[in-house]
Amino acid sequence: MWIFDKNGQTLANSMLYPSPPGDFSDRDYFQAHVGRDIALFVGRTLQPRPPFGGAPFFSVSVRRNARDGSFAGVIESSVLPDYFEGFYAKLGRDSGSYAALVREDGAILARYPEIETSDASVKTDGLIGRAMIAGSTEGTITQVSSLDGIERRVAYRKLPKLPIYVYAGLETRAIRSMWLSQLGAYLLVGLPATAALIAIVLLALARTRRLYEEAGRRAIAENALKQSQRLESLGRLTGGVAHDFNNLLMVVGGSVQKLRRRHTDLQDRRTLDMIDSAVAKGAGLTRQLLSFSRRHNVAAKLVDLGDGVEKFADVLRQSVRSDITIDIEPPTERIVVQIDPNEFEIALLNLALNARDAMPDGGRITVSIRTETLKNFGPRKLTGDYAILGFADTGVGIPEEIRERIFEPFFTTKPVDRGTGLGLSQIYGFVQQSNGAITVESEIGRGTRFDLFLPRFTEMPADEAADADMVPAQADRNATLLLVEDHPDVAAVATDYAEQCGFSVVRAASAEEALDLLNRRRDIALVFSDIVMPGMSGLELARLIRDHHPETPVVLASGYSDRSASALAEGFPLLQKPYTLDTLRKALVHALQTGRPTAAE
């Protein structure tokens, strides 16, 4: 190992200490880095200079930069070709074996059998040399070497991210000799046996080809699975962040409502409106994060997919510029899926906004709907009848190197003021929670196409009817509400909201304390509990109340929880933090009046 200053003088080396002075500025491994930073450089084979001596070597070097980015010297490692040649000799034990390590300009760094010349500038030649000049990264050819006049069958490949090619092969004479030897042995057995062996060989080749194809498919599936697991890990992380953030938004929003009742000054109200707007935007961001992490509580129902797209078409057209055309190709039949309509519309809008930004000079968006029967499709092994919503644009396309990251939350190629990086992550979360999948195909300069795969249902969606049940503004009486919340600031906000709804509030900081109060008091008419708490969870508390105090209704709240789906499935009403005063009033009063669980918005 060597370290040189910007003039080529030796600063240190791993052979002698202290390092003898010397000027190495004329060496190729130094000259290559003087003008600009070319990253890793592999030099030609050189002879050591006195007083160091030793065997010939080739260099691997990188540039040293000063703090201001200017050239400060070179770090170089000397590699012995003898090591590679010895390694190749151990590998190539068959007669006529050949191996080589060659720079992309054709300069030979190491070769077996060794070259009978001391000229370090010798290069590879023939078809391989021309293939390298043409930029070919791998291949197999037969040629006669001008270095030793031997004909060989050679395979070559360029090493990833390195200016180096590796070669391996056999002399054609040795190959023919092997074949003739084997053929003679087969002829001794007889032509029938030879024919049988040929048939076996052909069968083996076919099976080998199938094995390679299967290995290729398996590699693609493994890569897709790794990407899915990576996104799943990100989902768990973002879900945890959203939980804490929702509690903060709950405190901020509740405090704003309390201040709004006390302040009548117009300037103060404008300030409070600004805070309210920021809370709403924050809630939208956490909603998108929870959609990506699949911790968002979806209100899925049967929807006619074609009808849903047609109803939202005007919003899509208003969201793009006038130089962008949106074509909708409706299906020829009713295609029913079970999705959250609100999340679906947000996903369509995010797709339209991304397409708009990808077409600065205008273009066309095409929305199509079709059906397909799948079998073990994608990393989630989708099987069955699926509706496929295609969303294609004629934009600039997505570079392949970032295509695997586009669904990550906060990953964006847009300027800071143009996007949050949560649009595609929301779409990913939407299709995952809908038990579907999403694929993307893109070509630079030609456009991008997203396909959303959603399970198809045979049932027809129910006709929407107006909700005739009118929920009163206040409770009928001064009912006692047991509030179970371990976060003191969130508890203060929830208490204020409940008191405005006409309830008398009793607070408990844990589920265990809440059970003790229920067992001691007979005036508690309703329980309102957070799900995520230390010790016993709110869902476990609700189950115990349902079993031992069935006359007491329970309403649950969550900023994020993997138990939310279980709570909804078991019939408990669930509020999503940060909830508003009106949403809380509707849920509590309805639960108190009916005495049974009901879905809450």
**What is residue 57's DSSP assignment?**
E
Residue 601 pLDDT: 38
Does residue 126 lie within any of the structural domains?
Answer: yes
Instruction: Please tell me the predicted confidence (pLDDT) of residue 599.
Output: 38
In a domain, 475, yes or no: no
Looking at the structure, do residues 443 and 365 belong to the same domain, yes or no?
Answer: yes
Number of structural domains, the chain? Answer: 5
Judgement on whether residues 98 and 122 belong to the same structural domain of the protein: yes
pLDDT tops 70 at residue 155: yes
Is residue 463 in a domain? no
Using the predicted structure, report yes or no on whether residue 253 has a pLDDT greater than 60. Answer: yes
Gyration radius from the chain CA atoms:
36
Q: What CATH number should be reported for the domain holding residue 551?
A: 3.40.50.2300
Domain at 420, CATH number: 3.30.565.10
Same-domain check for residues 421 and 310: yes
> Is residue 470, in this structure, part of any structural domain at all?
no
527 has a pLDDT exceeding 90: yes
Query: How big is the chain, counted in residues?
Result: 601
Q: Which of 144, 177, 210 is the last residue of a domain?
A: 177
From residue 222, give the alpha-carbon distance in Å to each of 210, 217, 361, 457, 539: 18, 9, 39, 30, 37
Q: What pLDDT sits at residue 455?
A: 93
512 in the same domain as 438 = no
Residues 226 and 306 in one domain: no
The region of weakest confidence among 13-17, 166-170, 415-419 is: 415-419
Structure confidence at residue 387 (pLDDT): 93
Residue 381: the pLDDT is 82
Instruction: Determine the structural domain holding residue 311 and report its residue range.
Output: 301-457
152 within 8 A of 143, measured Cβ to Cβ? yes
Q: Which span out of 181-190, 541-550, 556-565 was modeled with the highest average pLDDT?
A: 541-550
Is-contact 347 427, C-beta < 8 A? yes
Q: Which pair of structure tokens corresponds to residue 208? A: 């080998």
Extract the runs of DSSP E, i.e. beta strands, from 14-147.
41-46, 57-65, 71-79, 97-103, 108-112, 138-144
- In terms of Cα–Cα distance, which of 87, 147, 78, 139 is closest to 112? 87
Q: What does the block give as tokens for 73?
A: 């010297």
The strand ranges marked E within 444-596 are: 447-457, 480-484, 504-508, 524-530, 554-558, 574-576
DSSP 228-240: HHHHHHHHHHHHH
Residue 462 within a domain: no
- Written as one letter, the residue type at 112 is Y
Mean predicted confidence (pLDDT) in 27-51: 88
How far from the centroid of its chain's Cα atoms is residue 371's Cα? 26
Contacts of residue 497, defined as CB under 8 A and 6 or more positions apart, other chains included, come to 254, 257, 581, 584, 585
Residues 308 and 453 in one domain: yes
Is a pLDDT exceeding 60 seen at residue 156? Answer: yes
Q: Give the whole-angstrom CA distance, residue 330 versus residue 337.
A: 15
User: Considering the domain boundaries, does residue 469 fall inside one?
Assistant: no
Q: What is the C-alpha separation between 155 and 142, in angstroms, rounded? A: 9
41 and 137 share one domain = no
8-state DSSP, 9: B
The predicted pLDDT at position 370 comes to: 93
| CATH number of the domain enclosing 134 | 3.30.450.20
Per-residue confidence band for 560, with pLDDT thresholds at 50, 70 and 90: low
Instruction: Count the neighbouring beta carbons within 10 Å of the beta carbon of residue 557.
Output: 30
Give the pLDDT confidence of 480-495 residue by residue, as tens digits.
999 999 888 888 888 9
Domain boundary among 19, 50, 79: 79
Query: For residue range 47-86, what is the model confidence (pLDDT) as tens digits?
Result: 888 777 788 899 999 999 999 889 999 999 999 998 888 8
**pLDDT tier at 581, thresholds 50, 70, 90:** confident
Q: Which residue has the tokens 């003739």?
A: 180
Looking at the structure, tell me whether residues 170 and 194 fall in a common domain: no
User: Where among 52, 79, 106 does a domain terminate?
Assistant: 79
Residue predicted with more confidence, 386 or 425: 386
Residue 17 lies in a domain: yes
The candidate with the shortest Cα–Cα distance to 545, out of 297, 599, 537, 562, is: 537
Residue tagged 């204020």 (tokens): 496
Task: Tell me which of 486 and 596 has the higher pLDDT.
Answer: 486
The C-alpha atoms of residue 224 and residue 409 are separated, in whole angstroms, by 18
Work out the average pLDDT over 344-371.
90
pLDDT digits (tens, 9 = 90+) for 391-426: 999 999 988 888 877 877 666 766 655 555 667 877
Residue 180 has pLDDT above 70, yes or no: yes
The answer on 347 and 259 residing in a single domain is no
Mean pLDDT taken over the chain:
81
Mean pLDDT computed over 518-523: 89
Phi/psi-derived region of residue 447, left when phi > 0, alpha when psi is between -120 and 50, beta in every other case: left
DSSP annotation of 47 reads P
Tell me the C-alpha distance between 58 and 122, whole Å. Answer: 13
Three-class DSSP labels, 396-459: CCCCHHHHHHCCCCCCCCCCCCCCCCCHHHHHHHHHHHCCCEEEEEEECCCEEEEEEEEEEECC
Residues 344 and 412 reside in one and the same domain: yes
396 with 256, same domain: the answer is no
Compute how many other C-beta atoms are within 10 angstroms of the C-beta atom of residue 119: 8
Write the DSSP assignment of 162-193 as a string of letters: SSEEEEEEEEHHHHHHHHHHHHHHHHHH-HHH
The rounded distance, in Å, linking the Cα atoms of 242 and 577 is 10
pLDDT above 50 for 33: yes
Given a cut of 90, whether residue 150 has pLDDT beyond it is no
Residue 294 confidence (pLDDT) = 47
Task: Confirm whether 109 is domain-assigned.
Answer: yes
pLDDT of residue 416: 52
Indicate whether 203 and 250 sit together in one domain.
yes
